[in-house]
Structure 1
Amino acid sequence: MTDQPQMQDVVTLERRGAIGVITLNRPEQRNSVNRALSDALRAAVKAVEVDPALRVTVLRGAGRVFCAGMDLKAFASREIEGVLDGEGGFAGFVRLDRTKPVIAAVHGAALAGGLEIMLACDMVIADRSTKFGLPEAKLGLLAGAGGVVRLAARIPVVKARELALTGRTFLAEEADRLGLLNRITEDGGAFDAAMVLADDIVESAPRSVAAGLALSRYTELDDEGRAWVRNDALFADIFASDDALEGARSFAEKRAPVWAGH
């Protein structure tokens, strides 16, 4: 039985057998993350967690892109309470405790916080033309929602530094070579491929899946726990800086930033 989501909802949850399909649904805003989306994504993931009939989640984005990150217009006007520091961290998701696997079906672009949401998922399927990147340094910000921490843990650290410090975008082929993807599909195929993978997982024993997921995260979470302490201190300093506000304003105003260095 498939739930029929209300399309005005900024996040929708459909039940397709034992698979929960969560859709980021701000297509006109490139699924950028504001308070409403954060609250709704957290609620959707929690709904899957407490539903014994649901075993796996596929997370996707409506419209042209998976997610373009934080809503910088909301940031520039300081309308971001709860987006970064609510339960679960950024988007209500990147640090949320959960026990069921989440597969990201990525298309178009996963940039900034969008890439951080992807990195918080357990598996990733991406369309071939998808663009990835952490452009925060170009905006006077820091990829402090897991971007730097998780990239440095999963790919060669010199590559992680390059991507974090230059903010350059890269395509699915490079993401796959770096080990960030489970597989690449032709454009338009990521969601269907993610559903096939989810079906494969559903055929496994529920307790075995939960135990395997928990064990595979054991070392990762232990390392992240220590890294988050330093991450949060650095992020708080950057977030409060004049340059962070200038980066967001220059983006919203479509002009080059003028850095003050503080």
Structure 2
Amino acid sequence: MASTFTDIKFEIRGQIGIIKFNRPKALNSFGGNLIEDTIAALRILNEHPDTVFTVLTGEGRFFSAGADVRGFGAGGSGGPPQYKNDAEKKLAFLGRFNYATELLRSMIDHKKVLILALNGPAVGGGAAWFPGIADIVLATTGSWLQCPFSALGLVPENGSALSFAQHMGIHRANDFLMFGTKLSAQELKDAGMYNYVWDKTGEEFQAEVVRFLEGQLEGNDGKSMMEMKRLQNAPIRDARLIAVVNAVDALAERFVEDAPTKRFAKKKAELEAKSKERGAKL
């Protein structure tokens, strides 16, 4: 089964299933088949008879840089798509975001204990989609998070406005998600978003994650841990799914208004101007 995946590494070590984003040259951004592969692996582990923990982590120095925006705004040789009206435009964008809705549902409904092992920094969707939904968050000291949604004319994605507030409190979540504040691993641990932060990187960090989880399995009953998750999540499951639906709707509306397109164009122009300025100085 693992051989069918192109953009993740998938393995099962005893009672631990590991899903590792594997687009390190693209900082594990959401291109290629990364999301589809991750959803497929979550489905396999959800029904696996032996596993207790599902680990989500990344290959390389980044956990995930979020959306792959290299082709953003490209409409091919014919230019951007043309829509008859705003309703058609919104439906088109809602269709584009279905993959993210299913990813979040797969994590929210996942039966196993979902472990997020942040091997490095995460930005945008990479920072917003996973920490608030994971049951336990393990991180390296360099695993900062940042969500520049407002700067790009976007909204807090996939229910993160709710899930972050549930962990950090409303005021901290507002500062992080509204203002795009960059938070260090220690700040996130102090805020209640991370459980453990280790001064390890690369394979040393990945090995520590496995050792830690194997230690939990030695001292604790796997079914009891899974039942703890089920009991805790049952009363908040529907609210989290509704938050995802609401966020997708709000994001589609932002695209109907062309706010992200204008923001991305402005940012691109600023970067090109800075690049020319640096070139003139050389």
TM-score class, shorter? 0.7 to 0.9
Aligned position for 1:61:
58
For 1:134 and 1:183, how far apart are their aligned partners in 2?
A: 21
Contact 1:58/1:195 (<8 A) preserved: no
Displacement after TM superposition at 1:158 (Å): 1.1
Distance change >3 Å, CA 75–CA 41, structure 1 → 2: farther
Structure 1 range deviating more: 61-70 or 246-255: 246-255
For 1:78 and 1:142, how far apart are their aligned partners in 2?
A: 23
Aligned position for 2:137:
124
For 2:94 and 2:70, how far apart are their aligned partners in 1?
A: 13
Partner AA of 1:69 in structure 2: G
For 1:18 and 1:83, how far apart are their aligned partners in 2?
A: 35
Cα deviations by residue, 1:89-120 (Å, 9 ceiling, x for unpaired): 2xx52221210012111132111111122332
Aligned position for 1:259:
none
Between the aligned residues of both structures, percent identity stands at 24
Unaligned runs of 5+ in 2: 77-92, 273-282
Distance change >3 Å, CA 82–CA 200, structure 1 → 2: farther
3-state SS in 2 of match to 1:72: coil
Matched, 1:210 2:210: no
Q: Runs of 4+ in structure 1 displaced over 6 angstroms? A: 78-83
Match of 2:116 among 83, 98, 104: 104
Matched, 1:93 2:106: no
Displacement after TM superposition at 1:157 (Å): 0.9
Displacement after TM superposition at 1:239 (Å): 3.2
Normalised by the length of structure 2, the TM-score is 0.78
TM alignment of 1:173-192, pairs within 5 A: 173-188=186-201, 189-192=204-207
Distance change >3 Å, CA 162–CA 223, structure 1 → 2: same
Contact 2:7/2:32 (<8 A) preserved: no
Distance change >3 Å, CA 119–CA 176, structure 1 → 2: same
Name the structure with the higher helix share: 2
Cα deviations by residue, 1:118-175 (Å, 9 ceiling, x for unpaired): 3322111111122101111111111221222211222121111111111121100100
Partner AA of 1:178 in structure 2: A
Match of 2:21 among 21, 24, 28: 24
Match of 2:256 among 209, 224, 240: 240
Distance change >3 Å, CA 205–CA 81, structure 1 → 2: same
Aligned position for 2:183:
170
Displacement after TM superposition at 1:192 (Å): 2.9
For 1:121 and 1:16, how far apart are their aligned partners in 2?
A: 20
Distance change >3 Å, CA 170–CA 43, structure 1 → 2: same
Structure label with greater radius of gyration: 2
TM alignment of 1:40-51, pairs within 5 A: 40-51=37-48
3-state SS in 2 of match to 1:22: strand
Partner AA of 2:153 in structure 1: G
Distance change >3 Å, CA 170–CA 50, structure 1 → 2: same
For 1:72 and 1:152, how far apart are their aligned partners in 2?
A: 27
Displacement after TM superposition at 1:8 (Å): 8.0
For 1:74 and 1:168, how far apart are their aligned partners in 2?
A: 26
Distance change >3 Å, CA 29–CA 83, structure 1 → 2: farther
For 2:11 and 2:192, how far apart are their aligned partners in 1?
A: 29
Distance change >3 Å, CA 193–CA 216, structure 1 → 2: farther
Partner AA of 1:102 in structure 2: L
Cα deviations by residue, 1:192-215 (Å, 9 ceiling, x for unpaired): 332233224434334322221111
Aligned length: 251
Normalised by the length of structure 1, the TM-score is 0.84
Aligned position for 1:194:
209
